[in-house]
Chain A
Amino acid sequence: MIDLTPLSFSAVLLLLGLLGYVLVSQLIGFVAKSTRKKRNKFPPKIPIHLPNHSDAYFLVEPGGIITYSNPTVRDMFHLNGEKANLEVIAADIKPNESFFALCTREGKARFNLGDRLIEGKSYAIPYNSNEAMLVSFRGLDFEDLASGRTPSSAPQLSQLTRKKELHTVDRDEPIDNYFGIKDNGHNSMVLNQELEKRVQDRTQQLRLEHQRTETLLRIMTELSSSLDFERILHRTLEVLNEVIGASHATCMVLQPGNKKLRHLATVGYSNPLPPGGMPSALNINQGLVGWVLSNRQSVLIDDVLEDNRWIQLPNSWYHHRSAIGAPIIIGDQLLGVLLLYYPEVGKFSEEQLDLIQAAANQMAVAIKNAELYHLTRDQKEELRALLNNQRVETSRSRSILEAIADGVLVTDQHGEITLFNQSAERMLELKRAEVIGRSIEHFSGLFSGVALAWMDTINTWMQDPHSFNPMNTFSEQVSLDNGNVLSVNLAPVMNNNEFYGTVSVFRDITHLIEVDRLKSEFVATVSHELRTPMTSIKGYVDILLMGVAGDLSEQQMRFLSVVQQNTERLTILVNDLLDLSRIEAGQVNLSFEPLDLRELIDGVMEEINRLTVAENKTMQFNIELPLNLPRIKGDPERIRQILINLLGNAFHYTPSNGMVNLKAHRVGEEIQVDIKDNGVGIPPKEQGRIFDRFYRGENHMVIATAGTGLGLSIVAKLINMHHGRIWVQSSGIEGDGSTFSFTLPVYDFSRHAIRMSKDYAENTNR
């Protein structure tokens, strides 16, 4: 159905174009005629009224019958006062074949009246689809004759019965008015010639106009019966061919880019064109076609073989001689060429050229319209495909949003809920049908606390989208009244500063919270349950070692010391476990402040020195800190913990009399601390795992040292919480030791000063 539409469309357009052409040409003709008529009433209509004039006029039909005459004729033939019988005149004049031949050939009417030879002028005028001769001669000639002697034919004339009446006309109207020419009195030879020529021209013009109108009407009729655009062109050519009498005709159309021509319709050739036409063998600048295209005018060639514009195709079967070419042109846009041929010389006339150009113009309109139609149709198809793709894309996105396990709530710029997926239904315990299309304000009442803040944020953004600040997104845990906890992330949907609404994505974290709670509870219980027996063990061992409960042998003292050390180890393990659990559960909150690394290290070194004393192991510690080292941003207790851990490791894993160097320097906005020892080192294959929980090296010194395998894991996590990094470098060769490096941010006083003054301003405003 879609395929037929453009064709019928083109057909109708072409039909309308032709109809328009006929109407317009007739209208132009009518206007032209009416203006002429106003001026000189030419040409005469049939029946005619020949005017009273000193010249005699009569009209001779092809059969030799005289049909009309003016009063002067009646005078000449002595029919005065009576209604003249024209056959009486005819009998004298004898308008036979030789009379007509003379009229036609020389424009002279010659006849005998009595013994006098009368000579007048004759004009061919259209009359009842044929030509009649209007004959005029001067009354003077006749007067001469009449004054001499009575014509012998006079009695004859009167004797004849009158079959037709002469029509008289108004005597007042001068002949020059009637024919629109100047009357030079009796010397009107020139006038008559001009008049004659005009009548002839006009006759020919009318005939051609008639033919052209008829042809175009036929084309129109043909076209209205077809729906196929190429067939329309084909039929147009057929009709033209028939009227013009050409043997071959082709309609060639320029291809997109105007580089090539294509035969779209042909007539008279043995092979029919394939659908869609056939490319032309000629380029657009070659031959007759090239001339018509570049000159944009029609051309008539009597013999192509004599014309240098013609290119004879080498393998052509056709022997064209006469040719007519007309550009198919609309406005100033060249669309193609219409060509007609005939195998004989001098077939076509200039008048036919006009008709072909008219037909070419109609074809141009039809082709242009078809082109426009195709363009429109293609664009429509493209748009349809685009829309379809978008629809598919949209529904796909929607399906994804519907299917995901997270709750999704989308509001438009008016706060109306436009999307509320299944998960949202389940989590918020609201039916989709109840919320879609309704304003978010309706549901604020269902919530309290943070959930209410969630709804309020949507409302705030809706009322003032610019209140949104990327640093201030809504990302909260929302406890619902039913006991469920949701993790809500709310964001505005903005595009080029235009607010489209909001999207909330939320996840039910009720069970995660519960798991977290159970975990904390478990850790708390376990640590309590472990500490209680350890309290007894440690307490009693300590008391025994204090000698409070009585003297002990040296061996007893040694054994009890082992118990004490392992109890210590167990205590550290429990504390570390507890610490790690709390860090991992996010239960450790850091309180950041500007810290002087030198002060911290001094404090830590006191503790390390106590360790060296307790373990009776000498170690050289070199601390190198630049004087202008800026303060770092950190939690003092946690930074202490980090330093004790790393320095403690360096001490423990370096043999006695070893060396530990601590250096710090600024790198950009960070302070880098390097702790280098010359101890056992860490083999490269172990380096990737040392920050893992419970990983302990396989070195003998590591095994000999009390440790839990949790220290570095906690350190790494704490540094991470400070937005720093930690890494290790070691060749793994014993004695080369290892270097632990970590970074901590430099405290930015300017930023915090602003925030502090802002807090102060806010507080004082309240």
Chain B
Amino acid sequence: MPKILIAEDELDILELITFTLQFGGYKVISTSNGEDALEMTRKEQPDLVLLDVRMPRMSGYKVCTNLKASRDTHHIPVVFLSAKGQEAEIKTGFDTGAIDYILKPFAPDHLLKRLEEILASEAVKSGF
């Protein structure tokens, strides 16, 4: 069962994503700030990190940058799930090393489908 870390400061949305992912069959760990997300990713080594951009203590961009900069975590795919929809913001997200940028509001089934695709392609990459 793939493990996904969710970092989301809006608790309603955190619960929505958690529910959706659990429904999709994933093991979910979550946090509501950037610093914890960074720390937990190192410790827990999830299969995928789903990041909000605007979070307390550390922005999603910075978390991703740090994850990609660290040998322990740079292999873990990062997907942004953000309400920030401007071109420049999306571009920044990809620039930090994210594999996808999903715009809020999202359709739960579309999110599941997308994550499934990403994890499948990651599995091909890592030789499973």
Using CB atoms and an 8 Å cutoff, list the residues of chain A in contact with chain B: 520, 523-524, 527-532, 534-540, 542-543, 546, 548-549, 567, 571, 575, 578, 582, 587
Contacts and interface: CB of A to CB of B under 8 A. Distances in A.
B85 interface: yes
A539 B17 CA distance: 8
Contacts of A540: 16
A527 B85 contact: yes
A580 B80 CA distance: 25
A575 B85 CA distance: 9
A538 B105 contact: yes
Contact of A543 (B20, B89, B105): B20
Nearest to B11: A536
B94 to A, nearest CB: 17
Contacts of A538: 105-107
B123 interface: no
A534 B104 contact: yes
Nearest to A527: B85
Given A537-B105, A543-B108, A531 B83 contact: yes
Nearest to A524: B86
B104 A543 contact: no
B19 A532 contact: no
8 contacts: A524-B84, A532-B104, A536-B12, A536-B13, A538-B106, A543-B16, A571-B105, A582-B87
Contacts of B23: 543, 548
Nearest to A568: B105
B85 A531 contact: yes
A19 B104 CA distance: 112
Nearest to B8: A535
Contacts of A548: 19-20, 23, 108
A530 B54 CA distance: 14
The 9 tightest CB contacts between A and B, nearest first, are A531-B83, A535-B104, A538-B105, A535-B105, A539-B16, A536-B12, A528-B83, A534-B105, A531-B104
Interface-central residue, B89, B104, B105, B107, by most chain A CB under 10 Å = B105
Interface in B5-48: 10, 12-13, 16-17, 19-20, 23
A719 to B, nearest CB: 20
Given A524-B84, A531-B103, 9 more contacts: A523-B86, A534-B105, A535-B16, A535-B105, A536-B16, A546-B108, A546-B109, A549-B19, A578-B86
A543 B13 CA distance: 12
Contacts of A546: 108-109
Nearest to B54: A528
Contacts of A578: 85-86
Contacts of A539: 13, 16-17, 20, 105-106, 108
A530 B84 CA distance: 10
A578 B83 CA distance: 12
Given A539-B20, A540-B16, A528 B84 contact: yes
Contacts of B105: 531, 534-535, 537-539, 567, 571
Nearest to B10: A532
A524 B16 contact: no
Q: Most chain-B Cβ atoms within 10 A of its Cβ — which of A530, A535, A537?
A: A535
Nearest to A575: B85
Contacts of B20: 539, 543, 548
Interface string B82-102: 011111010000000000000
Given A535-B104, A536-B12, A536-B16, A542 B86 contact: no
A619 to B, nearest CB: 25
A529 B84 CA distance: 9
Contacts of B85: 527-528, 531, 575, 578
Contacts of A549: 19
Contacts of A537: 105
A575 B83 CA distance: 11
Nearest to B83: A531
A523 B103 CA distance: 16
Nearest to B81: A535
Contacts of A571: 105
A530 B23 CA distance: 27
Contacts of A528: 54, 83-85
A532 B13 contact: yes
B50 to A, nearest CB: 13
B23 to A, nearest CB: 5
A575 B17 CA distance: 22
Nearest to A534: B105
B89 A524 contact: yes
A548 to B, nearest CB: 5
Contacts of A543: 16, 19-20, 23, 108
A441 to B, nearest CB: 39
Contacts of B87: 582, 587
Nearest to A564: B107
A739 B33 CA distance: 53
Nearest to B103: A531
B109 A542 contact: yes
A97 to B, nearest CB: 139
A548 B21 CA distance: 12
Contacts of A523: 86
B109 to A, nearest CB: 7
Interface string B104-128: 1111110000000000000000000
Nearest to B104: A535
B13 A535 contact: yes
Nearest to A530: B83
B19 A582 contact: no
Contacts of B13: 532, 535-536, 539
Nearest to B84: A528
B108 A582 contact: no
A580 to B, nearest CB: 13
Contacts of B103: 531
A350 to B, nearest CB: 112
A689 B29 CA distance: 53
A549 B107 CA distance: 15
B9 to A, nearest CB: 10
A578 B85 CA distance: 9
A123 to B, nearest CB: 130
A395 B21 CA distance: 78
B107 A532 contact: no
A582 B84 CA distance: 14
